[in-house]
Amino acid sequence: MKRRRSLYVHLSHIRLLAKKFALVILFLSAFALMLVNKTDTVIIEKTSTVATDVISPAIDVLVIPAKMIAKVYDYFRDLKQIHKDNVRLREENRKLNILYDRFKSLEIENKLLSDLLNYVTPEESEFITARVIAEEGDAFSHSMIAYTGDAPVKKGQVALSDKGVVGRVERVGNAYARIILITDINSKIPVMAEKTRIRGILSGDNTTMPRLIFIPLDADINVGDRIVTSGVAGVFPAGLPIGKVASVNKNEIRIKPFSSLEQLEYIKLVNYGLSGILGEDDETGQRP
């Protein structure tokens, strides 16, 4: 009992001393570490480098599964997108096949009707491109002069721009032709509304927008409707674009031409092989 009591007393003294000097020991340890950090930076840097060299390969090995998972995810994502594109392309292909079948059916039907009606297709058109060299725009006429060289040009041929009808050949001279525009007061062109097929006459009045006349009073004509040639009277072939309806009043319908007639530099003079004006006297209508 005395030995145990003595040992307990001895341990109690050691604990008391440790508590008294603990703060001093910690302070000295921190001071020693600071000295090592200041004086032996090379050792610390080498230790850090070695640690980095050892840990980096381990990190690379650990990253490999993450990279594999990311690649697998991208693969399945691309596979899903490819599947969607494939479905979309199949649907488009199905629609194209339907349209193709309808086209072939209409082609056969058109041939049968043509044979039944003994329909004769129009002759292929011939044309030249002419440069506009002068304009005649005043209160009495709207026309222009185009250089045609020695090309065969006839009176009545259609004058076109890249957007539609601009007029017709009125007179042919040596290397030049006079074109009467659709806005000229003497211009009268059989036309129709493209959507409703209502026919009328496009009449110029020396303004920038010709009038649509001789149409039924209850005609369904609205602003924005496209106006094209009707092919009546054999002057112009049917379906050539002219302009759009700009305004609809009670007694007046104005048409805005597709082409800017004041800015034309080149025009196309087309011979559709039609009768009508083309069949007039060659002495004034055709270059000898």
Tell me: the pLDDT tens digits for 213-239?
A: 999 888 889 999 999 999 887 778 888
Reduce the DSSP state of residue 191 to 3 states and report it.
strand
**DSSP state letter for 170:** E
Average pLDDT estimate for 259-265? 89
State the pLDDT at residue 233: 78
Residues shown for the chain: 288
- For residue 178, what pLDDT band results from cuts at 50, 70 and 90? very high
Segment of 26-30, 111-115, 272-276, 280-284 carrying the highest mean pLDDT: 111-115
With 60 as the cut, is the pLDDT of residue 4 above it?
Answer: no
- CATH code of the domain occupying 126-285: 2.40.10.350
Cα of 49 vs its chain's centroid, Å: 60
**268 φ/ψ angles, rounded to the nearest 5 degrees:** -110, 125
Q: How would residue 24 be classed by pLDDT, with cut points 50, 70 and 90?
A: low
**Residues 34-53: what's their mean pLDDT?**
60
Q: Is the pLDDT of residue 283 over 70?
A: no
Round to whole Å and give the CA distance between 75 and 69.
Answer: 10
- Determine the pLDDT at residue 6: 61
> Residue 99: pLDDT band by 50, 70, 90 thresholds?
confident
Band (122; pLDDT cuts 50, 70, 90) = low
Query: What's the rounded Cα separation, in Å, for the pair 179 and 171?
Result: 7
**pLDDT per residue as tens digits for the range 236-253:** 888 899 999 999 987 789
Which residue ranges make up each domain of the chain? 42-121, 126-285
Beta bridge partners of 189: 202
d(CA 83, CA 89): 10
Mean pLDDT over each residue of the chain, to the nearest integer: 80
> According to the model, what pLDDT value does residue 125 have?
78
pLDDT at residue 257 in the model: 96
Q: In the predicted model, is pLDDT for residue 137 greater than 90?
A: no
The structure's pTM equals 0.56
Instruction: Tell me the β-bridge partners of 158.
Output: 168, 270
